[in-house]
Copies of this chain bind each other. A is one copy, B any other.
Amino acid sequence: MNRIFAGAVTLMLFCACGGHNDKTDNMMCEKEQMTDSGIVRLSKIKVNPDYLEEYMKFATEVGAVSLLTEPGVLTMYAVADKEDPCNITILETYASQEAYRAHIASPHFQKYKQGTLHMVDSLRLDDVTPLNPDNVIVNYIKQK
């Protein structure tokens, strides 16, 4: 049964990715494996309330484009506190340091970064260690 499970996950990733890298077809790109130099991070952003709605659009777009097009962006899951939606947390995982460098150099990240500089009151990047290496997250953009 373990092999069936592993096979199903592989099939899902294969079908989901299919080797496409063209973001225009709204397909998930093929993903890299997490490596020893990989990053698991909680990014914590406090957004200026005057810009919250606009910030949400930038953050949603960069998350979707990164997941859809970047082989080394394994997770980019952003949430807003219900009590104070200006507090944003993003769970980010990158397969390697190279994948992270490619991400921050990408046009979509630079569009987000430069476009939101004046909207962000503070930013914390907390690198973290998963408690259980057998606990796995798969993150994707639902196809419409």
Contact = CB atoms under 8 A, between A and B. Distances in A.
Nearest to A131: B78
Contacts of A89: 42, 128
Given A2-B143, A42-B79, A143-B6, A63 B16 contact: no
Interface string A52-83: 00001001100110010000000111111111
B63 A126 contact: no
Q: How many copies does the complex hold?
A: 2
Closest 10 CB pairs of A and B: A79-B128, A8-B15, A2-B143, A8-B12, A78-B131, A134-B142, A12-B12, A138-B138, A60-B132, A82-B127
B83 A126 contact: yes
Interface size class of A (residues with CB under 8 A): 35 or more
Contacts of A76: 135
Interface of A: 1-2, 4-9, 11-12, 14-16, 18, 27-28, 40, 42, 56, 59-60, 63-64, 67, 75-83, 85, 88-89, 91, 126-132, 134-144
